[in-house]
Structure 1
Amino acid sequence: MSQVRDDRLDPALLRLIGVTLLGGIMGILDSTMVTVAADTLAEEFHSSLSAISWASTGYLLALTVTIPITGWAVGRFGVKRLWLFGLVVFLAGSLASALAWDMASLIGFRVLQGIGAGVVDPLVLVILARAAGPSRAGRVMGMMGVVLSLGPVLGPVLGGIVLQGLGWRAMFYINLPIGIIAALLALRVIPSEPAGEHKSRAPLDVLGAALLAPGFAATVYALTQAGEKATFGTPTVLVPLAAGLLLLFVYVLHALRARRTEPLIDVRLFTSRSFAASVTVQGLVGLGTYAGLFALPLYYQVIHDHGARAAGLLVAPLGMGSALAMPLAGRLSDKLGARKLVQGGAVLAAAGAVVLTRLGDGSSEVWSALAALAIGLGLGAVGAPTMGSLYRTLPPEKVPQGSSVLYNLNQLGGALGVACVALILAAAGTGGVAGSGISGFQHAYWFVFAVAVVILVASPLLPGRPEAAPAPAEASGSEPRQALVE
């Protein structure tokens, strides 16, 4: 008698998902929460806003540097040990940041926080991908996508609420009870590796780490500076960008020639059409999402004269749309594959962007909110199936490396999206971003439209419909890779 695959998420897997997301959400929220406290911190420490910005930039760069090394550490120390270590480091950084006595100490402790987040954030993807198995990768990544979608939107909103009611130090103290609960639950819920499985003796690719980590960090820093200064034509952008791209190029040569030491990221993964298409489309999702998240608040502030809090709330439909679409699209992708869902999502996102290009000075916020919702729904319908397709075809031993690539490309896409929109707005205005008229925002939304079109063009390269697995999978993630109908 033939077996029927049971794709339901069993209680053990649901508990694992909940505990993992509880630990991961802190880093995702913290990456944006602190931005709303810039003025308060500048006054508290008698410092300039440019110096205060390093509290966020240092966090981001530390996270970016740590992610590639985390991929290697998974094999050496095991997921559970590394997860608990990352949580402890993040909590230590949170406590120290709350107790910071000057600007230098705050920046240093934020860097410590970023290191912890650089361990925890990619491990969220690794834990969930292994536990879900290929047949349930889409729906589990859809649930992960809810956190990824809402984090950038809710971070500034929650940060503003905590800042106004409890003060800036509470923005860091709030991580402590959440993190302690997450760590205690992780001890019980996250499975330990079988004896000997995590005892990889592969040495750290020291040269690769010296090239890859600062290469990513310098590139992200350059794009962040381009977004802040609304130009690429300054040494503070061009020098780190050139250095970052050079380091990444040299790393590729090193990884291709490596013989004795396994590279941190096997660049030969990109010879797989499915892998290359999946991580590229996911990077484009980050680009389009952060471009919209950067342009929309400025639109409400500059054109409609709303305050920062109201503008932040009016951006919520974009994140909510993505959060609504991801679980459904992820679940459907386990049966239908990624292509059709990604194509439909790209068309919907493009349609929402076109509506935003037609807005005028007197257009109602209702239309912009509905268009933002459409963009969120569309990008959500792209994101979850794309992540699911990546983990559905990636060999199990390459999951940590794939997660590192996915997370870093999403970071690069987000930074590039902000930089491009800042350049567009500056080029259209007479006084920088703040002086941009409605035409600048219309051009920015045409950029989001172009991103959606590129996703649509790339969609045929994604994996096709997955074939049915011969038997149900265990929660441990030992399910074999699924075949794909190309």
Structure 2
Amino acid sequence: MTETSEATLSPQVKKALLALVIGGIAAILDSTMVTLAIHTLVVKLHSTTDTIQWVTTGFLLAMAVAIPVTGWAEHRWGGKRTWTAALTLFVLASVLCAASWNDTSLIAFRALQGFGAGLIFPLMQTLAVRAAGGKVSSRLMAAVSLPIALGPILGPVIGGVILNWLSWRWLFLINVPLIAAGLLMAWRFLPADRPAPATERTRLDWTGLALLAPALAGILLGLSQLSKDGGLVHTGVLAPLLAGLALLIAFIAGATHPGERRPIVDIRLLHRRSLGSASAVLFTAGAAMYAGMFLLPLYYQQLRGDSVLDAGLLMIPQGIGALASRFMVGKLVDRFGVPLVTIAGFLLTAAATVPFALAGPTTNVWWLGTVLLIRGLGVGTVLIPPMSVAYQDTRPADIPHATMNTRIAQQVGASFGTAIVAVALQTLLDHGTTNAFQGAFWWATGITTAAIIPALALPHSRQATTAPQTHPDRPRNHSERRPANPRS
């Protein structure tokens, strides 16, 4: 039996979701807005492009380091307290970024901000599932994934407005009122889930953290350097990439046979069809979504000569499409099933990327806007079905670990997709800017089409009941908490 995705969420769950979305939107917007400001920061801070790129790279690496910690922190102190701590850390780092006096200070404060964001994104998903009592629906996932879907689309618009009329420091100061509202709403609406005094305090898996955190950082760093001269054979690519892969292999070996300890990220859960297939699809979805999001602003700015603000405004149709998809995907999943809707979303995204692979500097902007609207529908569709089945056979105590698995997959996939199209664009520039962008968009189309393969393995439907309390292959060595009072 399939749980209807259109089942009405309770008022309590809706309020909790609103608190999570308000808090999470600041982090995702900030991560996309700053990308537009690279040239501005080079000029204002009297730096170089290679140095200022670390404002973005440092943020992403710190995020990767933080993601594995969220499950342990949520179990140790409770989701609500960990969430408020993450928001507080993020907003304090934002203020420090705005007060930066040179490139070094900005890079350091951005890394601190990235660590906060790395806690926020997995917690947002975990706490949404907990607030709903483990009953995962497309409507729930549509709400909680809204910042992730709209951030890369709205970020360039808001960033363009700020850079056009205000100081670059407002890219960070804009987070203060958003996070303040998020903290207030979290205090009022998130259910209290502080562990009981008698609850066994889980020890942090320091060995796993020492392997996984630098593994993810090394892989993401290597991928981010892939478009530099020399490509894959460049030392700046090979050294961190190979080191990261070696550490990841060591972590996997230890996490699959952990003995009595609980791995910091329990990858054994991936053998379950629901979580394993959903994680694979979210990897390819991250690659497909961010490959396009990397290329589209550059196409408008570098090939068409539009300003940062104009490029951001021209991306609005994609945001409208992504938002509109939230209102229809649940009904589509109920009628056609998770795999078919996911595949259709990837096909729609790929089809709407092809016109950009054929576009030049004078292609009709209204035509491209229509195409972006359709692309937004596809991009907004592909995330929700796999997220709605990821927890299908996951017990409550395993929810944070399931979330970390999906979040890591999406984060690495995003870096992978961006790296592939960045290399294609850089390599093809010798053949002219138009040919370079067309070739890179063909690569983005290919990545999106290839994403259909793992989608074939998704479970067809979602269960009607909450996640199971036990699982035969895992001992219950962690307490499972239920939400208590609405305020702590």
Q: TM-score, normalised by structure 1?
A: 0.89
Matched, 1:58 2:58: yes
CA contact (8 A) 1:24 1:121 kept: yes
1:442 aligned partner: 438
Q: How do 1:58-137 residues align onto structure 2 when only pairs under 5 Å count?
A: 58-133=58-133, 135-137=135-137
2:284 aligned partner: 284
Counterpart CA distance in 2 for 1:307 and 1:134 is 46
Counterpart CA distance in 2 for 1:189 and 1:441 is 46
1:466 aligned partner: 462
Superposed displacement of residue 226, structure 1: 1.6
Change (3 A) 1:213 1:327: farther
1:250 maps to amino acid: A
Worse-superposed segment, 155-164 or 26-35 = 155-164
Counterpart CA distance in 2 for 1:261 and 1:95 is 39
Superposed displacement of residue 372, structure 1: 2.7
1:191 aligned partner: 191
Kindly provide the CA deviation profile for residues 166-225 of structure 1, in whole angstroms up to 9, marking residues without a partner as x: 312222222222212211221111111265189442211101000001111111111112
Change (3 A) 1:411 1:12: same
Let me know the Cα RMSD of the aligned residues.
2.6
Superposed displacement of residue 43, structure 1: 2.7
Kindly provide the CA deviation profile for residues 298-348 of structure 1, in whole angstroms up to 9, marking residues without a partner as x: 322344332332223223333332232134214543675411211221222
Question: What are the ranges of 5 or more consecutive residues in structure 2 without an aligned counterpart?
Answer: 467-479, 484-488
Counterpart CA distance in 2 for 1:40 and 1:206 is 40
Change (3 A) 1:17 1:176: same
2:394 aligned partner: 394
CA contact (8 A) 1:77 1:199 kept: no
1:294 maps to amino acid: F
Worse-superposed segment, 185-194 or 381-390 = 185-194
Counterpart CA distance in 1 for 2:188 and 2:313 is 37
Counterpart CA distance in 2 for 1:14 and 1:197 is 29
1:450 maps to amino acid: G
Worse-superposed segment, 439-448 or 144-153 = 439-448
Q: Helix, strand or coil: the match of 2:203?
A: coil
Kindly provide the CA deviation profile for residues 366-412 of structure 1, in whole angstroms up to 9, marking residues without a partner as x: 33332232222123222111111112333222211121121222111
Counterpart CA distance in 2 for 1:158 and 1:180 is 19
Change (3 A) 1:404 1:195: closer
1:305 aligned partner: 305
Worse-superposed segment, 331-340 or 141-150 = 331-340
1:483 aligned partner: none
1:273 aligned partner: 273
Q: How do 1:195-274 residues align onto structure 2 when only pairs under 5 Å count?
A: 196=196, 199-227=199-227, 231-274=231-274
Worse-superposed segment, 87-96 or 366-375 = 366-375
| Number of positions where the alignment pairs a residue of Structure 1 with one of Structure 2 | 467
1:65 maps to amino acid: V
Question: What are the ranges of 5 or more consecutive residues in structure 1 without an aligned counterpart?
Answer: 471-475, 480-486
Counterpart CA distance in 2 for 1:48 and 1:452 is 34
1:436 maps to amino acid: T
Worse-superposed segment, 216-225 or 204-213 = 216-225
Worse-superposed segment, 142-151 or 130-139 = 130-139
Kindly provide the CA deviation profile for residues 402-446 of structure 1, in whole angstroms up to 9, marking residues without a partner as x: 211212221111111111111212232217xxx432x33333233
Q: Helix, strand or coil: the match of 1:430?
A: helix
1:153 aligned partner: 153
Counterpart CA distance in 1 for 2:81 and 2:170 is 28
CA contact (8 A) 1:335 1:465 kept: no
1:141 aligned partner: 141
Superposed displacement of residue 460, structure 1: 2.5
1:462 maps to amino acid: L
1:167 aligned partner: 167
CA contact (8 A) 1:255 1:267 kept: yes
CA contact (8 A) 2:275 2:391 kept: no
CA contact (8 A) 2:6 2:330 kept: no
